[in-house]
Chain A
């Protein structure tokens, strides 16, 4: 009996230890990044261009703008496609065809981001003959589409049946019911899914490596190679210069802060939105 109790206590303690270790890694990451990045983030980081190795100072203003540009482009393409495909799955789809689309969306979501990068390279960079923000944005939109589709579908399906029936009983036809009752009811959830999707793609590096490439200067248009924060972190971190490492830490802190803030904001919205009557 005491043996069984001892085993019980030991195993439960081990499980607790696992939980402690895994959760504490988040704080280690945050703490170390704030410690190192905090020393390097200053006004210059947000307003100046990167300097050549060896020169102290400089910033990543072009990469911040470039990231915003690429993510905005991805959102403009990816969010509507994902949203309407999600509406189809939740409201119109036949059983078999929906299954196929749903399964394909999950497959697309599971494709390694580097492979998405190759695809964007073959369809945009090769025909245009040079790297561009456009190719980067498109690559990211391909990652955003399945995320948006699945979350939109999920939140639409959570709208209570009685609301649909009420609208239909009042004589609204199906699309009017969807547009004026169901989608507004699921609005919070859908927005949350979209924000989480955007947060996820803003940190992606691999699809941008050979689509939007990188740029030490301001990019002059969508068809130009464009600097982005994640790619800048990569190139600066693997380079052998201390100054560049400091810039990489600063960029890492800024990127992580943005991504985590978006996540926390979105998840707070979700947890307030679940008060929907079932």
Chain B
């Protein structure tokens, strides 16, 4: 030890005080703990879902039977509910969110823009159970009495808008998810739009384009990856959202063609049935649903991060 240190006097000085290396190792420990936690989480989900995986195999994902009494479990109704409610949410939230982001970045005076963005960020901080509470007592009656009958009277011939109206169901869950996700779309899209270089706008305006034409033809294409990233981010939120959806989805583990029908999502069934689940197969089926949800959101989140990284790099390089 002594001889090898003597060969490198600089290293010796470092080792003797050791502060830097202690600090390095100490903080490294915590950084590594993040990796360990994440790997451990996946491992635990994998292990605890093994009875269900062994019994149903891949058929778990394609079976639409969910019957705790006969110990038959299939994930399809929940996957369907999760995907359809998230898709509905995006259908509503993307135009609203991107429109609002355009207003905030292109039209509003900076002061107003900052104030409104602050309010939108506050909206993102509202706990999901509070959205659920409001939805139960305001949104569900509104949907049942006004929106859904109106939709049915216009589009009633389509299977999507037919059938009995309950108030709870896919569409109501989609609407509440839309309200919960547009703050993410607005704040990330606004950032992406604001990263677009000024010259892009000025060139279009100088060529005689109107404000809207310059925004639509010159600014939006430049920020499209960032906006797409915000959409994926919102999608990941919507897929994993639990409480608000659980309170309005209607809890019916079947696939219905109608958007007005009650359904179920992966997160909602875990929230409702986990503490009541008796028996290994039942519990591990719920854990496996968690694993499916985890995989879904991981893929979507990964894509979102990638897109956001790509655009911010591109934007800053050209600015």
Contact = CB atoms under 8 A, between A and B. Distances in A.
Q: Do A and B come from one complex?
A: yes
Interface of A: 4-5, 7-8, 11-12, 14-19, 21-23, 25-26, 29, 32-33, 36, 80-85, 87-89, 91-93, 97, 100-101, 103-108, 110-119, 121-123, 142, 145-146, 149, 173-176, 178, 196, 199-200, 202-206, 209-210, 213, 230, 233-234, 237-238, 245, 248-249, 252, 255-256, 259-260, 263-264, 267
Contacts of A12: 103, 107, 211-212
A81 B26 CA distance: 11
B108 A19 contact: yes
A249 to B, nearest CB: 7
A32 B240 contact: no
B33 interface: yes
A204 B267 CA distance: 14
Given A29-B134, A110-B297, A23 B116 contact: yes
A21 B23 CA distance: 50
Given A23-B120, A233-B129, A175 B19 contact: yes
A17 to B, nearest CB: 7
Nearest to B35: A104
A7 to B, nearest CB: 6
A109 to B, nearest CB: 9
Contact of A103 (B17, B102, B186, B305): B305
Contacts of B132: 234, 237
B120 A22 contact: yes
A23 B121 CA distance: 10
A142 B98 CA distance: 32
B138 A256 contact: no
A18 B267 contact: no
Given A26-B123, A174-B23, A255-B130, 4 more contacts: A80-B30, A88-B28, A202-B127, A203-B127
A85 B134 contact: no
B12 interface: no
Nearest to A260: B122
B129 A15 contact: no
A238 B272 CA distance: 11
Contact of A118 (B17, B40, B274): B274
B127 A146 contact: no
Interface in B86-106: 95-100, 102-104, 106
B41 A119 contact: yes
B302 A107 contact: yes
Contact of B31 (A7, A101, A110): A101
Question: Which range holds the interface residue count of chain B?
Answer: 35 or more
B200 interface: no
B107 A15 contact: yes
Given A19-B99, A32-B134, A115-B290, A175 B107 contact: no
Given A15-B99, A114-B240, A119-B41, A203 B130 contact: yes
B236 interface: yes
A267 B119 contact: no
Contact of B19 (A11, A176, A230, A255): A176
A24 to B, nearest CB: 9
Interface in B14-48: 17, 19-20, 22-24, 26-35, 37-38, 40-41, 44-45, 47-48
B231 interface: no
A4 B216 CA distance: 13
A173 B10 CA distance: 13
Q: Interface residues of A: mostly helix, strand, loop or mixed?
A: helix
A23 B247 CA distance: 24
B19 A8 contact: no
Closest 4 A/B residue pairs (Cβ): A203-B127, A112-B240, A18-B99, A88-B27
Contact of B240 (A4, A88, A100, A113): A113
Nearest to A175: B23
Given A115-B45, A118-B270, A255-B130, A101 B242 contact: no
A87 B100 contact: no
B271 interface: yes
B268 to A, nearest CB: 9
Contacts of A114: 240, 242, 267, 270-271, 290, 293
A110 B236 contact: yes
B30 A8 contact: no
Nearest to B32: A101
Contacts of A80: 30
B118 interface: yes
A107 B38 contact: yes
A204 B127 contact: yes
A7 B212 contact: yes
B173 interface: no
B129 A23 contact: no
A108 to B, nearest CB: 5
B258 interface: no
Nearest to B48: A122
Given A112-B294, A175-B19, A25 B123 contact: yes
A173 B37 contact: no
